[in-house]
Structure 1
Amino acid sequence: MSLPNSSRREFLAAAAAAGIAAAAPRVSRAASDKSDIRMATIGFRSRGQSHIGGFRNNLVALCDVDQTVLDRGVADFKEKYGRELDKYTDYRELLQRDDIDAVSIATPNHTHSLIAIAAIQAGKDVYVEKPVSNNVWEGRQLVAAARKHGRIVQAGTQSRSSKCLQEAVAWVQGGGLGKIQYALGTCYKPRPPIGKLDQPLNIPSTIDYDLWCGPADKVDLYRPKLHYDWHWDYNTGAGDMGNQGIHQMDIARWFLGESSLAPRTFSIGERLGYDDAGNTANTQTVVHQYESAPLIFETRGLPRSKEGQNRWGASMDSFRGSQIGVLVQCEGGHVYAPASYREVMAYDRSGKQVKHFKGSGDHFGNFLSAVAAGDPSRLNAEIAEGHLSSALCHAGNVSHRVGEHASAGEIASSIAHDELLSYSFDRMATHLRANDVDINGDALVLGKWLDIDPASETLANSDKGQQIWKREGRDGFKIPNIEAV
């Protein structure tokens, strides 16, 4: 790599490029009118609240393992919309209902694939939040389940329904700025420490912790909160690359027009700047070395400097104006896609704006339209797309987790041949030093270059990585091995 000197693809084409056989469109059990689709939302303490709002006219039930959250959600819905919803704490009981056509899933990441596959097997169409999986293998099982059972499954990467992004991607892929040289996603988002307990967290009796853990290891927690902070534990989350960054990872891959994993992936980073109960990297650079052009992804959880830790969020780094966004560098200029998904700007090499794409979209509505029509080709974020972008996040984390600690000098020396990656690391090093992080010792982790077979989505050079690449889950919560159609 060196420094610089389509609207969405149709479903069938994307499926073919990913090496999967798409199920033929089928008639939905729901009537052709969207208003007749009966839905339930599973998990709604946080992101699921938007599901409730987006699917409110179709909801007949809510499900959450936290009885307090569940009771409050049902009461709030009745107060706001004047209707009583059925309630469940166990998604398996909910899925036994034949009168529910589709479910939306906004549980913690580690149960996304498990519940989605169970819903598909129960004959439901599915809207599942990002990332759609906890690891690469289980995400592919989710795609296989959708194919085998002919269900309509949408990933919660709502930028795919953004009109401005659809138009910008088509323009760039059509040669609007010449050949793409690289795509760079940034997730510079404030993440203060989550704290650490001396004794295991006491899980309230109102929460079914065994069910909450699902396929993840059932272990004592030493963080002050069960909810949300699971993002920062590899057992249940994927760090900010798999939380916020999955959106930008997806957009970057979309611009590149890639429909598989990259053949090589590499990470540099670590959790730095404080000592807490989290173990995911809060500072990280990942490169997916596609043959067409590299995809670089940068995560920053610390502010611009140590002084900024007195007011988290008010002092974050940016790169070429991007804090949370995607930069696509081309021969003739670059494109910037901020996280609003409402506008995309294109600039020539002199910095003059040459295009300004505008317009958002309705991702929930897109799902309902596809379900009503019984036609998965209408989806803007069909599950294969969600799986691939989620898998890129997981692959980057696998490289990190099988890596070894090294000094900044050792890392710089090992990547000196790669100008673009060296530039990214130099900026990371400057950022960490500004936060008083000593990187002259072995604070950082130099990840292992992963050799990946994009066709089979398997690792070729890491036995330790295989254990992270695939997790079948605990007894009673195992991800099924589904033969691809």
Structure 2
Amino acid sequence: MSSFSRRTFLKSSALAAAGAALPAKAWARIPGANADIRVAVIGLNGRGRNHLQSLARIPGVRVVALCDVDTAVLDKVKPTVNGGDVKTYTDLRKLFDDKDVDAVTIATPNHWHSLAAIWAMQAGKDVYVEKPVSHEIWEGRQLVNASKKYKDRVIQVGTQIRSGEGLQQAVQYVRSGQLGKITAARGFCYKRRDSIGLCGGPQQVPSTIDYNLWSGPAPLVAPHRNTKNGPVHYDWHWIWLYGNGDVGNQGIHQMDVARWFLGEEGLPRHTMSIGGRLGYVDDGETPNTQVVIHDYATAPLIFEVRGLPKAAGVQGAGGDPAANQGGAAARDMDNYRGVDIGNVIDCEGGSVIVPSYTTARVVDKSGTVIKEFTGRDTHMQNFIDVVRSRRSQDLFGPVEEGHVSSALCHLGNISHRLGKAQSEAVLTSSIKSDAKLFEAHGRMLEHLAANKVDLGKTPLTQGVPLQIDAAHERFVGSNSAQANAMLKRDYRKPFEVPSLG
């Protein structure tokens, strides 16, 4: 796994700090066109806007182009960059042909990540691609293969927690053995997710969206959702054709951190999921309540999703009108030892609590804080530094790491999708020999009971246990034929991920 010196980190931090004070007009500064790195941002309706903000703080960077399949989004964002003096594209293929673009950042929906990044490298561009790097495991491996084939290109993955000095130091602390061996690496996404409601059938795509391009590698089917985000944007996260649920949306970060602490470089030996979409009935397909356990040799990696609040209450915009009504406190979320979105790394001599992207604290067995680590995120700065130096070994988010952590999300979802609804008596009996899974499941039951979910009417799905040949990134043993069929999708021409193995 990659390691980075304190000198490298501090140099990157100093550059980022110098750029942080730049005014908005800094976009128009051109100290010398040959020295500037000319960047295009692809996908502007969410994370892409964060990319623009991060790039604006870095000296010697010019955003020269914007790309989005929705012209309404393009029209809204364009005036905020260079006072509107920036090229715009709706088709990323035409953008990749632009010789005035040196690097691209990709913030499209998940189903576009691998193909867009591969096409960009083939066109000679350096790439920053959002997490997860893939929609399925096979295409993520092709992205890694592309990075080796086009090895003169730089590719950074948006696993930005790895760029924080505080987390780097915390990982080194645990790896040094000062807390003894890791006994469990836990990740949490207790993040409120309201129902997206039932729209009742296929929805009309807004005329501003090129839906053929938006769909890309996925089948061209009418959207079956419609919320405050419209029928296309954002809520694709909860539709299997395009998204990977909160396991792949937020969980990629926390499973990446957990695996980083473990020091495990590849896939686990076994995986299983327990969960479901519970507490409301809507157009969403992915679980809003889930526990995924990955069996690693070092220690188990356990990840939990909870989208329902701490207790039954308001469902919010687009919610189930039959839900119980409550006050603002009803939106409060559960936490595990003070963590709602983050990690807890349990060791023989204590634990590391990671409550945010940039901080960690070490507690002894009694819960007393004995050490704290802090440090800010310099991920985009690190990408630009490496674009200049061409030293890909200095990247904080290398593509191999991004691929493996993305694959952990897909493993859990494959187990879930191949599973079946199970009575609580049967489910509980079948997992009682796995103490850590049994304990996490027990806390899940308490959470669902607090939300008045009747598991007799809407039971949990017990995912199939999956055995993994980590070296070949394939399944073996029981259920392997069905599971291997889910490693790769059928791509729609001409949006086919190339085989580069």
Same fold (TM over 0.5): yes
Q: Paired residue for 2:17?
A: none
Question: Cα deviations across residues 391-434 of structure 1 (Å, max 9, x unaligned)?
Answer: 10111000000011101111110001111110000111111111
Taking the aligned partners of 1:387 and 1:350, their CA distance within structure 2 comes to 37
- Which residue pairs with 1:348 in the alignment? 364
Cα-to-partner distance string for 1:138-158 (whole Å, 9 max, x where unaligned): 111001001101121100011
CA distance in 2, matches of 1:472, 1:394: 16
Q: 3-state SS of the aligned residue for 1:265?
A: strand
Secondary structure at 1:147 match in 2: helix
Structure 1: gaps (5+ residues)? 1-5, 12-31
Offset of 1:99 from its aligned partner?
Answer: 2.5
Give 2:485's aligned residue. Answer: 467
Give the match for residue 235 of structure 2: 229
Q: Is the 8 A contact 1:472 1:479 kept in 2?
A: no
Select 2:342's aligned residue among 325, 330, 333: 325
Q: Which residue of 2 aligns with 1:104?
A: 105
Equivalence for 1:75: 79
**Do 2:70 and 2:208's aligned partners in 1 also have CA atoms closer than 8 Å?**
yes
Match of 1:293 among 273, 290, 299: 299
One-letter amino acid of the counterpart of residue 293, structure 1:
A
Counterpart in the other structure of 1:86: 87
Map of 1:40 onto structure 2: 40
1:357-396 paired onto structure 2 within 5 Å: 357-396=373-412
What is the TM-score of this pair, normalised by structure 2? 0.88
CA distance in 1, matches of 2:88, 2:388: 24
**Residue 178 (structure 1) aligns with:** 180
Which residue is equivalent to 1:141? 142
C-alpha separation in 2, matches of 1:227 and 1:460: 37
1:62-461 correspondence to structure 2 within 5 Å: 62-78=66-82, 82=83, 84-150=85-151, 151-224=153-226, 225=230, 226-307=232-313, 309=315, 310=326, 311=328, 314-339=331-356, 341-440=357-456, 443-461=459-477
- How big is each residue's C-alpha offset from its partner over 1:141-194, in whole Å with a ceiling of 9 and x where there is no partner? 001001101121100011111000000000001112110001010100000001
Q: Which letter maps to 1:69?
A: V
CA contact (8 A) 2:254 2:343 kept: yes
Report which structure shows greater RCO (CA 8 Å, sep ≥6). 1
Deviation of residue 200 (structure 1)?
1.3
2:494 maps to what in 1?
476
2: CA distance between counterparts of 1:34 and 1:301?
Answer: 48
Secondary structure of the equivalent of 1:58? strand
Distance 1:312 1:115 in 2: 42
> What TM-score results when the alignment is normalised by the length of structure 1?
0.90
| Aligned partner letter, 1:187 | C
Contact 2:310 2:330 in 1 (8 A): no
CA separation of 1:42 and 1:450: change in aligned 2, threshold 3 A: same
Q: Aligned partners of 1:34, 1:182: CA distance in 2, in Å?
A: 50
Percent identity over paired residues: 49
8 Å contact 1:35–1:58 — kept in the other structure? no
Where 1:344 maps in the other structure, the secondary structure is: strand
Match of 2:318? Answer: none
Asked whether the equivalents of residues 181 and 330 of structure 1 are also in contact (C-alpha less than 8 Å), the reply is yes
Instruction: State the partner residue of 1:19.
Output: none
Deviation at 1:442, TM superposition (A): 5.7
Residue of structure 1 equivalent to 2:3: 9
Q: Is the 8 A contact 2:63 2:81 kept in 1?
A: no
Determine if contact 1:429/1:439 at 8 Å carries over to the other structure.
no
Deviates more, 1:215-224 or 1:110-119: 215-224
| Offset, 1:467 | 2.6
Contact 2:239 2:245 in 1 (8 A): yes
- Per-residue deviation at 1:361? 2.8
Superposition RMSD on alpha carbons, in Å? 1.9
The question of whether the paired residues in 1 share the 8 Å contact of 2:313 and 2:331 is answered with no
Alpha carbons 1:308, 1:315 under 8 Å: kept: no
8 Å Cα contact 2:338-2:355 kept in structure 1: no
State the number of aligned residues. Answer: 454
Residues 34 and 372 in structure 1, CA contact (< 8 A), matched pair in contact too: no
Q: 1:329-377 CA distances to partner (integer Å, 9 max, x unpaired)?
A: 00000001112x2211000111111110011131100000001011101
Residues 1:475 and 1:214: Cα distance change in structure 2 (over 3 Å): same
More displaced 10-residue stretch of structure 1: 113-122 or 464-473 = 464-473
